[in-house]
Amino acid sequence: MLRKSLLLLGLAMAILWWFGLSRDHSATVLWFNAVAAVLSFGAAGLLDEPDEQPSAAIVPALLGLGLGAVFAVGNARGQPAWANWLNFVLALCYLGVAIAATVGVRRRVQAHARSLSGRQSR
């Protein structure tokens, strides 16, 4: 789930970068989208598919926090509002993926602990 989500969000960032720069060349905030897309694709390639390590959720969390900072700085510097708000939406998506990955890992760990405690009581 984490790998697919990072690939999908990386693709969204790349499309936003490409579409945004073709529409408005002065929007320098869009170059951060290109960096986030490359980081998202790279992280998706490095993660193992069985998302059993809870530390893997840090990647989308850091990308989400970084895009949140880009949103704040973009608003302060007078970048186009549409680019800033799309960065904010994508930041929330990355943070949502991080939360979902953490909850999924926690549920698997709890289920495994219950299965182990059931074996020990026999």
Which is higher by pLDDT, 115 or 89?
A: 89
* pLDDT bracket for residue 121 (50, 70, 90): low
Residue 5: C-alpha distances to residues 23, 65, 118 (Å) = 27, 16, 34
Which amino acid, one-letter code, is at 7?
Answer: L
Can you give the pLDDT at residue 90?
96
Number of domains in the chain: 1
Domain hosting 115: range is: 2-46+54-120
Record the pTM: 0.82
